Amino acid sequence: MNNVKTDHCLLSDIDFDDRTFPFSYGFLPARLESSIAAVGLLQQPLLLVSDNGFKIVCGRRRLEVISKTADGSGKISVCLAENSSFQELFRRALWENLAIREFNPVETADIYTAAAKLFSIDEIEKEIMPALKLPLKPRFRMRCQVIAGFSRKLRDLLAAGSVDVETVDLIKGWSDKERTALTDLVEETGLRRNKLREVVSRLDDLACRDEVSPLEPLFAARKAVLNEAGGIDVELLRSHLKARLYPQLTAAHLEFAALQEKFSWPADLRLEPPPDFEGGEYRLSFTFTGSDEWRKICDKLASVALEDVDELCRRP
Residue 1 has pLDDT above 60, yes or no: no
Q: Work out the pLDDT band at 213, boundaries 50, 70, 90.
A: very high
292 belongs to a structural domain? yes
User: What's the rounded mean pLDDT across residues 258-277?
Assistant: 81
Q: Per-residue pLDDT averaged across 141-163, rounded?
A: 95
61, 83, 100: which is the final residue of a domain?
100
Domain boundary among 69, 100, 131: 100
- The whole-number pLDDT of residue 71 equals 65
Residue 293 lies in a domain: yes
pLDDT, position 83: 83
The confidence score (pLDDT) of residue 308 equals 83
Q: Please check whether residue 196 lies inside any domain of the structure.
A: no
Residue 2's pLDDT band (cuts 50, 70, 90): low
| pLDDT higher than threshold 70 for residue 73 | no
Average model confidence (pLDDT) for the chain?
Answer: 89
| Whether the predicted pLDDT of 8 surpasses 60 | yes
Q: Is residue 168 part of a domain?
A: no
Distance CA 180, CA 177 (A): 5
Concatenated DSSP letters for the chain? ---EEEEEEEGGGB-TT--SS----SPPPHHHHHHHHHH---S--EEEEETTEEEEEE-HHHHHHHHHHS-TTSEEEEEEE-S--HHHHHHHHHHHHHTT-PPPHHHHHHHHHHHHHHS-HHHIIIIIHHHTT--SSHHHHHHHHHHHTS-HHHHHHHHTTSS-HHHHHHSTT--HHHHHHHHHHHHHH---HHHHHHHHHHHHHHHHHHTS-THHHHHHHHHHHB-TTS-B-HHHHHHHHHHHH-HHHHHHHHHHHHHHHHHT--TTSEEEPPGGG-SS--EEE---SSHHHHHHHHHHHHHS-HHHHHHHHT--
Domain boundary among 100, 133, 163: 100
Mean pLDDT of 181-197: 93
Global pTM reads 0.77
Picking from 58-67, 68-77, 208-217, which range would have the lowest pLDDT averaged per residue? 68-77
Q: Residue 259 has what pLDDT?
A: 82
Note whether residue 307 is domain-resident: yes
Kindly state whether residue 278 falls inside one of the protein's structural domains. Answer: yes
Mean pLDDT value across residues 224-238? 86
- pLDDT of 219 higher than 80: yes
- Residue 53 structural domain: 1-100
CATH number at residue 23: 3.90.1530
Distance, CA of 178 to CA of 218 (rounded, Å): 9
Residue 62: inside a domain: yes
The per-residue pLDDT for 72 is 57
Tell me the three-class secondary structure of 40-91, residue by residue. CCCCCCEEEEECCEEEEEECHHHHHHHHHHCCCCCEEEEEEECCCCHHHHHH
Number of domains in the chain: 2
Confidence category of residue 268, pLDDT binned at 50, 70, 90: confident
Position 18 pLDDT exceeds 80: yes
Judge whether 136 lies within some domain: no
287 or 38, which is more confident? 287
